[in-house]
Structure 1
Amino acid sequence: MKKEIRFSLVYRDMWQSSGKYVPRKDQLAKIAPVIIDMGCFARVETNGGASEQVNLLYGENPNLAVRTFTKPFNEAGIQTHMLDRGLNALRMNPVPADVRELMYKVKKAQGVDITRIFCGLNDVRNIAPSIRWAKQAGMIAQATMCITYSQVHTVEYYINMAEQLIAEGAQEICLKDMAGIGRPVMLGKIVKAIKEKHPDITIQYHGHTGPGFSVASMLEVAKAGGDIFDVAIEPLSWGMVHPDVITIQAMFKDAGFSVPEINMKAYMEARSLTQSFMDDFLGYFIDPRNRFMSSLLVGCGLPGGMMGSLMADLKGMHAAINSNLKTQGKAELNEDELLVQLFDEVKYIWPKLGNPPLVTPFSQYVKNVALMNIFCMSKGQERWTMIDTNTWDMILGKAGKLPGKLDPEIVELAKSKGYEFFDGNPQDNYPNVLPKYIKEMEELGWDRGQDDEELFEFAMHDKQYREFKSGEAKKRFNKELAEKKAAAAKPAAGAKKQRSASAEAVVAPFQGSLLWEQSARTVIVPAPGKEYKKGDFMCAILANHGMEVVSAPYDCVIAEVVKGQGAWVNKGDAIVYIEK
């Protein structure tokens, strides 16, 4: 009897691996019945990861979006699944236990069948509570191993991790090959070992196509006993995303597996609808380079899912880095040269930071350190000069145990700053908060929502939920979209007048709202000529994790102010230009 292979359409991750936003509720309602008509999907990824935060960012209620998308699949008998970051749940930073537990009750009520739980550090302590809470809520707990390739992440490492997850009650195991750098033979050995000892455990493989291994990896995993495979559809397959179901179905059929047939008429309709969503607004936020695969990812191991933000960061930093290089009389870099330099820097610093699997949010942290190292070195400064708070939390063990050992250089740097390392349970650092949010919702007159879903959303995404409720998020998104459309419709104006060669950019260290100095009720935006001493307060960035101060790097004078009060800045954007 032929081994049966099932497919899961990762419709959420198709978008989030490509760009910034995800489809609206009305668009999800259109595509769902067409996906069902394709007849080849046993599962569909409907939500999770950053998708619900993104809903809030463009002014849509994520709870309505999730219910709208899951309902048709529930009725058709197609299982729905979500991505769950364990300790971080649905955001980039740790979440209190009571909010995490509530999430599974809410998502089950919203029609989500399976939660794919991962910890970016592969720390089982961050996954185990979620397994328990998910099962108590009636969901299927799919525990996840983040696949990467290093001297630490061996076949034995993953077999041992799978044993721990199954002992904690995991009903399924997912191999999350988020960067697509898992070597095919290695993955086959891992799956074979799990299946030999636990033949009834369902194994699902999730692999990105970025560096090119994923198709071969899927075949090796299937031959070793893998059950379900994540796939995509055009126009958002391949590139930095996932293999297309057409190719994978044909490969498995030829290899002698039992696979479902694809209704190609429905496939083409789904393809057309997805393209129409891109044409509507989503395509304005997709970097075209994400459509291409790159073997450069083999060495650095960065995941395809973060390439959109990486390219945005590079664009923001490019001018500032070249300004620094020019000031020092060094050759400027084009974007490709800068990209290769970034990949090389990631490869260099990754083992020094303890080999965290390069998956959200730790891939962002490692990438951020690499990018800021390059920026600092372009100014003639040392590496490790600009490490943000979240990255330090990772280094110090507050997010979980690192798979590898920290380089002595990093340990000494931490000690020199007076930081203490933490080896306890990461969850203990984050006390329960639901009573606080319940009280505030009562005071504001906000409804807790069906199945407490609004309470959950508020507690999970505090800042974004407030901006959604106030209408500020929608207003900002509409402005952002209008600017994107205008830029696409009109060629860029001629080159700006070149700045003085001595002018140097002060860049935003984080994404957030820019706040200049305030005196009483008056905002003081500095004018050209304003003088600062080294270390003086210049401005602040209101980021997701709190307020971050930007200080004068040396005695300087303002040459040009680029961003005004309240401006939304991305990490690496120039705020002002200064001169000595």
Structure 2
Amino acid sequence: MKKRIQFSLVYRDMWQASGKFQPRKDQLERIAPAIIDMGCFSRVETNGGAFEQVNLLAGENPNDAVRAFCKPFNDAGIKTHMLDRGLNALRMYPVPDDVRRLQYKVKHAQGVDITRIFCGLNDVRNIIPSIKWALEAGMTPQATLCITTSPVHTVEYYSDIADKLIAAGATEICLKDMAGIGQPAMLGKLTKAIKEKHPDIIIQYHGHSGPGLSMASILEVCNNGADVIDTAMEPLSWGKVHPDIISVQSMLKNEGFDVPEINMNAYMHARSMTQEFIDEWLGYFINPGNKHMSSLLLGCGLPGGMMGSMMADLAGIHRSINSILKSKGQPEYSTDDMLVKLFNEVEYVWPRVGYPPLVTPFSQYVKNIALLNLLTMAQGKGRFVMMDDAMWGMILGKSGTIPGTIDEELVELAKKKGYEFTDADPHTLIPDALDGFRKEMADNGWDCGQDDEELYELAMHPEQYRDYKSGIAKKRFLADLQKAKDAKLGASLSPEEIAAFKHAKADAIVAPVKGQIFFEFGGGSECVPCIEPFIGSEYKEGDTFCYIQAPWGQIMPIKACLGGKLVEIAAKQGSKVNKGDVIGYIEREHKED
């Protein structure tokens, strides 16, 4: 029999590659025992990039969620791991050194064993400090190679990086095939090269299903010495996500590897529970297209996890371009036309910006350059004329060393704009910031939390954390959820049926006079300003919903009926209404017969 292969369930990434949000704390606590009972996982990915940010956006405390999710696995002897974006830590832009260092102290205290540290550019300067800080905190630093297929990303290129990361203290190496476009033969050779030189180093393979190469890649890396394979499970496996544990286990078992058995009763229980989470609310934020694999990803190299946001971005550009084409009397593009044009433009842009591996945030930068190029070319302005500071920062070297060569056209354009290229160590460009955030916590009367975890959260995600603390995040989330539910309802009902459905259960707020609507009113008025409403806003009987300024100047407060939850807004700030017009609908919890 061949060597023992361990499996990891990437439960965080299953959701990340499918939609916007992660399960709540109570849902994670419920699913953990079922995952443990499956008996086949030695590791589970519990948190990391995007996990905490989207928890805050949903108005939830991510520190509570991480601790609750990790504890059952800690107790069962299953190792937990997180995704760490190196210089960017858990967000999309660079993080000060003192905040990054605190991260490992916090995560170790919360029960996270392994940190998977990656840099989208594979710049070791962005990874090595995190290796040192993770070791100091007692965590296992798993240094990562972001896999892509280009003329510069060879076995020798990656092997050299692995040598430097292992010399810096990494005890594990992850092959992160984020778009699933790594060629199986190359991945097998790379695994063998690392293992022959560093036989004691654990190698973990992470490959998205996307274009369909991942199963072949898993077989190649295992036959060449890999130790741990990342897998998913239904109903979120395959598509743009990851291969299912059942298929991976069957394939490797048939190949002669020593693999753990799967408790299928537990698998079906965990599968059913995950589907329950989808049906309850998470499914409203899952793009159906992420359930499908696509060979088109091989050409552009874009990661499957960003396909949902990419399609949303594409829709806006699509409308703008079609408007331009229509004004010129030219045929408009279909959605498929636009998708092919975008993929082709990514293929054009990618080598010219130096082949950065297309992973967060560089996949977004390259995709955005390509999208804006399509728009500006339609406008007759040419390429590379609408790039923002983040896109230029990647090109200029502010995020790290680009693996390839920047096209001369972009070099000349940078000179014309007065931009300078840099080879400075990126993390030295960012001043420490914890003292300022600690003062903000004190000024607001906020507790820094167990092991400074709340301080860390503010420092890592300042905007989202402030909104979470104020309650605005939860209100926005509920409004977004209601909007998503309305959209789903709208797919099966006509607008008239939707309106009738809502209005049958709600009280109408009616304008008593003709005038102009104000949800916030100042200018010296003695009226107390109300808050501009959103779907899901809660009102008590007698609360002011809005104001109407009549043509003769009188300002009238409009009450929120008998109170309840706002289910529809029919007027905007500043809009004109006539007497008898409906301004909104409020649904009471206990509506009388």
TM-score by length of 1: 0.85
**1:16–1:22 contact (8 Å) kept in structure 2:** yes
**1:325–1:379 contact (8 Å) kept in structure 2:** no
**Matching of residue 307 in structure 1 with residue 307 in structure 2:** yes
Aligned twin of 1:366: 366
Structure 1: 5+ residue runs without aligned partners? 496-518, 523-562, 567-580
> Match of 1:206, SS?
strand
> Match of 1:41, SS?
coil
C-alpha separation in 2, matches of 1:564 and 1:320: 25
**1:82–1:114 contact (8 Å) kept in structure 2:** yes
Q: Please tell me the residue identity of whatever aligns with 1:159.
A: S
Pairs within 5 Å for 1:191-270: 191-270=191-270
C-alpha separation in 1, matches of 2:295 and 2:476: 37
CA 565–150 in structure 1, closer or farther in 2 if over 3 Å, else same: farther
C-alpha separation in 1, matches of 2:524 and 2:20: 35
**1:287–1:311 contact (8 Å) kept in structure 2:** no
C-alpha separation in 2, matches of 1:351 and 1:337: 23
Give 1:318 shift. 2.4
> How many residues of Structure 1 are paired with residues of Structure 2 in the alignment?
503
Q: For residues 526-555 of structure 1, what are the alpha-carbon distances to aligned partners after superposition, in whole Å with 9 as ceiling and x for unaligned?
A: xxxxxxxxxxxxxxxxxxxxxxxxxxxxxx
Task: Give runs of ≥4 in structure 1 deviating > 6 Å.
Answer: 519-522, 563-566
C-alpha separation in 1, matches of 2:324 and 2:256: 58
Give 1:141 shift. 0.3
**1:204–1:227 contact (8 Å) kept in structure 2:** yes
C-alpha separation in 2, matches of 1:313 and 1:121: 24
C-alpha separation in 1, matches of 2:328 and 2:165: 53
Q: For residues 391-446 of structure 1, what are the alpha-carbon distances to aligned partners after superposition, in whole Å with 9 as ceiling and x for unaligned?
A: 11111111000000100001111111111111110011100000011111111111
C-alpha separation in 2, matches of 1:348 and 1:417: 22
Aligned twin of 1:9: 9
Aligned twin of 1:57: 57
C-alpha separation in 2, matches of 1:330 and 1:21: 40
C-alpha separation in 1, matches of 2:410 and 2:524: 43
**Matching of residue 139 in structure 1 with residue 139 in structure 2:** yes
Q: Please tell me the residue identity of whatever aligns with 2:289.
A: R
C-alpha separation in 2, matches of 1:168 and 1:564: 58
**Matching of residue 189 in structure 1 with residue 192 in structure 2:** no
Q: For residues 97-151 of structure 1, what are the alpha-carbon distances to aligned partners after superposition, in whole Å with 9 as ceiling and x for unaligned?
A: 0000000000000000000000000000000000000010000000000000000
Aligned twin of 1:515: none
Give 1:330 shift. 2.0
Q: Please tell me the residue identity of whatever aligns with 2:143.
A: A
Aligned twin of 1:458: 458
**1:10–1:46 contact (8 Å) kept in structure 2:** yes
Aligned twin of 1:68: 68
Structure 2: 5+ residue runs without aligned partners? 497-521, 526-570, 575-593
Aligned twin of 1:152: 152
CA 74–153 in structure 1, closer or farther in 2 if over 3 Å, else same: same
C-alpha separation in 2, matches of 1:489 and 1:154: 50
C-alpha separation in 2, matches of 1:422 and 1:87: 16
> Match of 1:54, SS?
helix
**1:188–1:224 contact (8 Å) kept in structure 2:** yes
CA 138–302 in structure 1, closer or farther in 2 if over 3 Å, else same: same
Aligned twin of 2:558: none
Give 1:388 shift. 1.5
Give 1:520 shift. 9.6
Q: Please tell me the residue identity of whatever aligns with 2:128.
A: A
Give 1:2 shift. 2.8
Q: Please tell me the residue identity of whatever aligns with 1:88.
A: N
Aligned twin of 2:378: 378
C-alpha separation in 1, matches of 2:339 and 2:357: 20
Q: For residues 43-94 of structure 1, what are the alpha-carbon distances to aligned partners after superposition, in whole Å with 9 as ceiling and x for unaligned?
A: 0000001110000001001000100100000000000000000000000000
Pairs within 5 Å for 1:518-533: none
> Match of 1:383, SS?
coil
C-alpha separation in 2, matches of 1:33 and 1:404: 46
Q: Please tell me the residue identity of whatever aligns with 2:401.
A: K
CA RMSD of aligned residues (A): 1.8
Q: For residues 448-491 of structure 1, what are the alpha-carbon distances to aligned partners after superposition, in whole Å with 9 as ceiling and x for unaligned?
A: 00000000000000000000001111101100100110111123
Pairs within 5 Å for 1:266-415: 266-415=266-415
Aligned twin of 1:422: 422
C-alpha separation in 2, matches of 1:324 and 1:471: 42
CA 64–324 in structure 1, closer or farther in 2 if over 3 Å, else same: same
Aligned twin of 1:506: none
TM-score by length of 2: 0.83
Give 1:493 shift. 5.6
C-alpha separation in 1, matches of 2:191 and 2:484: 45
Aligned twin of 2:447: 447
> Match of 1:490, SS?
helix
Q: Share of identical aligned residues, percent?
A: 67
C-alpha separation in 2, matches of 1:249 and 1:351: 37
Aligned twin of 2:490: 490
> Match of 1:162, SS?
helix
C-alpha separation in 1, matches of 2:351 and 2:494: 44
